[in-house]
Amino acid sequence: MGEQPKGIKKSKTGRKASDVKADLIAVVAAVNNSGPCVLTVEQEAALPSGPFELAHRSLQSGLRDWVEQQTGHSLGYIEQLYTFADRDRIGAERVISISYLALTREEEVTGATRRCWGSWYDYFPWEDHRSGTPPIIREVLRPRLMEWADGAADTATRLERQRRAAVAFGLDERAWNEELALQRYELLFEAGIVEEATRDRRSTELASVPGRPMVADHRRILATGIARLRSKIKYRPVVFELMPPVFTLLQLQRTVEALAGRLINKPNFRRLIEQQELVEETGETSVDTGGRPAKLYRFRHAVLNEGAMAGTKLPLARP
């Protein structure tokens, strides 16, 4: 039997360490007049991504290179999101995906490019509560989740599934928590009622629920990015990475609402913004509001150098 080459190790499954590949993947978020959107490729079915290569100076530089090559879009603010390394998450290969969250401003698509901005809520139609609870929760998701719970092998499991569904989707008079976007998607995946959960299975008796699917586990990665951003806007002023250089307070409020998928209390929101000294007046006004001219503001960058950095917070409006 030949001697194992030095420097190459095999696992118990017989795979070599070199069989493990590392990918870089970007959740690039922006907000336009229609709401929050994500930068996509392949007819809105995938997030920009590519392998980490020896030529890349760092993980971040590799990610920036792939996004610019695939979409023509240069990234500004980015932060590492999560590392996905579940076995067989991408076919038979073992692929580790190092994901990043990037915040930017949407640009018009020009030239021969494959990029597109896809609405968050096309992928997760149950996440937008700005007009109240989406009918899909009551009419589609609740019955399907209860059917899944009732199919449990024992009473304890059935009750636990019912509890998880109620907490995640705000059922049985529980409060809706906008930060549970990832838990909601993963619950639907576990229940086998999103397309990604059924497309590789032999049994497809249960049709998938509405919501645009993505390749591999890209929709799970997108849900992770949404959950992170919804949480982070409450304690860091990252929302201003998505704003134009000057804006009205109403534009700022609408952006926060779009990201959270919730309406917020206008007087309380403005009071918090002023108390935290996050913005400063430019001395100019906007006449594009359709009513009285509105004061224009800009982000007060000095807040980044001050001791306590607050977020925009979410004084949520009562349903």
- Model confidence at 19, pLDDT cuts 50, 70, 90, reads low
pLDDT digits (tens, 9 = 90+) for 187-212: 999 999 999 988 755 444 556 789 99
Where in the chain are all domains bearing CATH 1.10.10.10?
233-305
Q: Which of 62-71, 233-242, 251-260, 304-313 has the lowest mean pLDDT?
A: 304-313
Query: Quick one: pLDDT at residue 137?
Result: 97
Pick the CATH number of 233-305 from 3.40.640.10, 3.20.20.60, 1.10.10.10, 3.40.50.2300: 1.10.10.10
Residue with tokens 């080459």: 5
Cα-based distances in Å from 291 to 87, 229, 247, 286, 295: 56, 32, 16, 10, 12
Q: pTM value?
A: 0.87
Query: Quick one: pLDDT at residue 3?
Result: 43
pLDDT digits (tens, 9 = 90+) for 282-297: 999 987 766 688 999 9
**Are 15 and 26 within 8 A, CB to CB?**
no
Is the per-residue pLDDT at 110 higher than 70?
A: no
Residue with tokens 């993963």: 186
Where in the chain are all domains bearing CATH 3.90.79.10?
19-122
**Are 297 and 281 within 8 A, CB to CB?**
yes
Is the per-residue pLDDT at 280 higher than 90?
A: yes
**Are 34 and 119 within 8 A, CB to CB?**
yes
Higher per-residue pLDDT: 235 or 161: 161
Pick the CATH number of 19-122 from 3.90.1150.200, 3.90.79.10, 3.40.630.10, 3.30.499.10: 3.90.79.10
Mean pLDDT of 302-307: 74
Pairing of strands 116-119, 279-286: unpaired
The CA-CA-CA angle for residues 127, 100, 55, to 5°, reads 155
Q: What is the DSSP annotation of the chain? A: -PPPPTT--B-TTS-BGGG-EEEEEEEEEEEETTEEEEEEBTTTTB--EEE--TT-SSHHHHHHHHHHHHH-PPP-EEEEEEEE--TTSBTTB-EEEEEEEEE-------SS---EEEEHHHH-TTS--BTBS-HHIIIIIHHHHHHHHHT-SSHHHHHHHHHHHHHHHT-TTPPP-GGGHHHHHHHHHHTT-SHHHHTTSS---SPPPSS---STTHHHHHHHHHHHHHHHTTTS-GGGGGS-SSB-HHHHHHHHHHHHTS-B-HHHHHHHHHHTT-EEEEEEEESTTSSS-EEEEEE-GGGGGSS--------BPP-
Return the sign of the alpha-carbon dihedral for residues 244, 222, 135, 319.
negative
Q: Which amino acid is at 119?
A: S
